[in-house]
Amino acid sequence: MKKQLLRLGAILLAVGGPAISHAANLPPLAALLDCKGEASGVAAYVDALEDGGLPGWSKNDELSGFASAVYRTPKPVSVAGLPTSDVRFGDYQLGNYTAYGITSATDVNAVASQLGLRGVAGRGLARESARGAWIVAREYKGRVELGCEYPNPRLGGQKGTPAR
């Protein structure tokens, strides 16, 4: 019986190994979106999605663009009090690590005002959060994209955050 369970476990790991192991090690998505995580959390989600996906996640072709994939989460999460089921992770290879929720809100100025965001050169509507991270709101395909921009540790960003 024990051998059968071990074989079954090995088969499950072989079939769904990357997705299962990644999902168990991911930080909470809502915390990442609200600048309460670490840059390494963005890389963990990107790696998991590139390594075969995450259980229940799917690519949203309607919102995805060239070099900018948007993923639908299995259940909605909150970003600054707004619900979202669509998430976009920025390219952390050359720039900062970013995680954005694409909300159903359509007035970026109203959202920015509610969150105390202001125009910041190079970031749009934003405000500094903790440890060099920025809460950012912008328009994305007619909807408000809201999330966090973490400093890239490879580019002299936040100290203590390991590069992947």
Check: CB of residue 82 under 8 Å from CB of residue 146. Answer: yes
The more confident residue out of 95 and 35 is 35
pLDDT digits (tens, 9 = 90+) for 48-75: 998 988 999 999 999 998 778 899 999 9
Residue 34's pLDDT band (boundaries 50, 70, 90)? very high
**What is residue 158's DSSP assignment?**
S
Report percent pLDDT > 90 for the chain: 62
Say if residue 37 is exposed, middle or buried (CB neighbours under 10 Å; 0-12, 13-18, 19+).
Answer: buried
Strand-pairing partners, residue 127, are 135
Q: What share of the chain is helix, strand, coil (3-state, %, to 5)?
A: 30, 30, 35
Q: Between residues 127 and 91, which one has the greater pLDDT?
A: 127
Beta bridge mates, 58: 72
Q: What is the pTM of this model?
A: 0.78
